[in-house]
A and B are shown apart, each in its own frame.
Chain A
Amino acid sequence: MSDATFRPATEETPLARRILIGLAVTGLLILVFAPLVAVFVEALRDGIMASLESLASRDAWAAIKLTLTIAAISVPLNAIFGVAAAWFITKFDFRGKAFLITLIDLPFSVSPVVAGLCIVLTFGANSAMGAWLVDNGYPIVFAMPGIILATMFVTFPFVARELIPVMIEQGRAEEEAALTLGAGGWRVFWTVTLPNIRWALLYGVLLCNARAMGEFGAVAVVSGKIRGETATIPTTIEMLYQEYLSVAAFTLAAVLALLALVTLVLKTLLELRHADQLAATHRH
């Protein structure tokens, strides 16, 4: 045995390594890369012109506009919630904190379909509140507010659960120092807290946005899928696919897949550049 063949006690044999790496790479190629590639292959099946033409259709445009609007409303609202909840949970001591965190995490363990069902039962025309709202001209279910509520439900924990660990780790000392120096509450937040959590906030918003634009199950239940009115990109994909308009369906799917890829690239960049300012462990 020479220096070159000496194997430290904490390493596997080169053969074992190669097998494990091979299994990991093959598994991900089949399970993850193949579906991703398939989206683009199917979208471009009839050439790029056919794909672009399908994108230019009125329904596709309406869906894209609706999805962007939904995200533009629900993501900022969830960001505000996430910051407020993280502030409340990390800056104050109160009874039931663990329970509150569990409640905030709850949407992650509820099926999107059940989430949609909950919103239909609360605000649908057959409930007391829903009937009153419809009579007064504010329908929620089968209309935009319902889609926003459903989207917010499924993305509810994203920002808060990214911020809470970061803010726990940073402690309260800097805010306390600012207070002793005479700063008011908002000044402390804008000049001390926000700069410390901005990358974690961005990270949470990024994941929240990706999920908001791609949500299908919950939205499918509450939206009624009215073409050109309440059909988002994912529900339009479903309708096109059911009508055997494969290229059109996969072209819209490719748009969302591109969004997912951009999200992943930005997320990876954030992790590389600002690892110290993100939550130490990432669980989704």
Chain B
Amino acid sequence: MHIEIDEISKQFGATAALHPVSLAIPSGALVALLGPSGSGKTTLLRILGGLEYPTSGRVLFDGQDATGLTVQQRRAGFVFQSYALFRHMTVFDNIAYGLNARPRATRPQKAEIARRVTKLLDLIQLPDIGARYPSQLSGGQRQRVALARALAIEPRMLLLDEPFGALDAKVRKELRQGLRDIHDTTGLTTVFVTHDQDEAMELADVVVVMSMGRIEQIGKPQDIRARPATPFVREFISA
């Protein structure tokens, strides 16, 4: 799905988290929002997911104004930094949650839900953990379960907030490739937030560098490396 961010701004009380920013994300792209903490990248992601409402501006999905859509209506697969798995549910129930939450008329049959969950467990290469609880999983396994749970609702896009933030270096490398593979198989428009420039450069097709609520530069990783547009970008990517 093609996403267009049109002059979005966000005020929290007196402080401006986002000055008006505009950004077009082509269908099927894998985009990184890169910046230090407080740069507004997470706020922008949450606005896309419908978790925050912009102070001004519009969000367009495939050319249609989506600003007024509720979280539920957006069908954005959202992966939280803490993963936010439901502790009292098994992995299976976590992944099936979005399907079970649908109104009866559109809810798939039990067997169909089971089939889809099994398929997703295969996709994240953890076919045998359906009966476990989140507390019994490693950090990397939790992240992949959170991803599978987001994919289960057949999302129109995938939004990830620091998806590798809570993991150690080795697991991080493995999972980067995992996300790339899942993006390539599903073809979903994917936006992820990160403060790690290696991660952004290695994984994304397009990198959006942000600072202090503004977009500093948009470009392909190699272009940003070769021609930083502002002193901030030069400083940030050389760090």
Contact = CB atoms under 8 A, between A and B. Distances in A.
Direct contact of A and B (CB under 8 A): yes
Nearest to A10: B51
Is chain B's interface secondary structure helix, strand, loop, or mixed overall?
loop
Interface range on chain B: under 10, 10 to 19, 20 to 34, or 35 or more? Answer: under 10
Contacts of B54: 3
A11 to B, nearest CB: 12
A28 B67 CA distance: 42
A99 interface: no
B69 to A, nearest CB: 9
Interface string B24-66: 0000000000000000000000000011111100000000000
A6 B51 contact: no
Interface in B185-217: none
Contacts of B71: 9
B68 interface: yes
A98 interface: no
Contacts of B55: 3
B214 to A, nearest CB: 21
Interface residues of A, number: 5
A137 interface: no
B53 A9 contact: no
B82 to A, nearest CB: 14
A155 B209 CA distance: 63
A8 B49 CA distance: 12
Contacts of B67: 1
Contacts of B68: 1
A3 B71 CA distance: 15
Contact of B51 (A1, A3, A9): A9
Contacts of A3: 53-55
B70 to A, nearest CB: 8
A8 B67 CA distance: 14
A8 B53 CA distance: 8
A101 to B, nearest CB: 24
Interface of B: 50-55, 67-68, 71
Given A1-B53, A8-B52, 10 more contacts: A1-B67, A1-B68, A3-B53, A3-B54, A3-B55, A6-B53, A8-B51, A9-B50, A9-B51, A9-B71
12 contacts: A1-B53, A1-B67, A1-B68, A3-B53, A3-B54, A3-B55, A6-B53, A8-B51, A8-B52, A9-B50, A9-B51, A9-B71
Interface of A: 1, 3, 6, 8-9
5 closest A-B pairs (Cβ-Cβ)? A6-B53, A1-B68, A9-B71, A3-B53, A9-B51
